[in-house]
Amino acid sequence: MYFLLAEIIQPINCILVSEEVPSISIVLSERKSNALKGIISNKKKIKGNFYTHKPTQTKPSSWSFKNIKTKFSGEAILLKGHEIWHPYQTKIKSYEVNKVLFSGLSSKLSKVTNEKDLLKATSGFFKIGSGCYGGRINKV
């Protein structure tokens, strides 16, 4: 019980940085019951809340974005280098995943913004920072 409680209370600091536009990042800092919650920002300007959801038996890894006016969601494609990770393969462990592609994020954001850097960043890969570990806290 103590280990479960410590994992829930302990803060997380999972930073995803765009490979296309490094000034665009997603900082996941809060654990929810079914997701990690954070923000997507451009040079400290917050664009909205961003959530990552782990896969279940019926749904793949996914993402969702919310701001005052909109809510979008889509699939998150996780990779180790150039190889795709999914829960039914045994070659790549979840903690080895080092980048992610948020499928459809850029096209959905283009409905509410024309910010070129944000759209370029969200159409490409994000590097997964060392503070991330398959949605759990990275053990020291």
Q: Which tens digit of pLDDT belongs to each residue from 29-45?
A: 988 888 899 999 887 67
| CA dist., res. 5 & res. 67, Å (int) | 30
Take residue 57 and report the two structure tokens written for it.
Answer: 């038996």
pTM for the model: 0.84
Domain count, the chain: 1
Q: What is the pLDDT of residues 50-94, one digit of tens each?
A: 999 988 888 899 999 998 888 999 999 999 999 999 888 889 988
> In sequence order, which ranges of the chain are alpha helices (DSSP H)?
2-9, 105-109, 116-122
Containing domain of residue 10, as a range? Answer: 2-137
Take residue 109 and report the two structure tokens written for it.
Answer: 């954001």
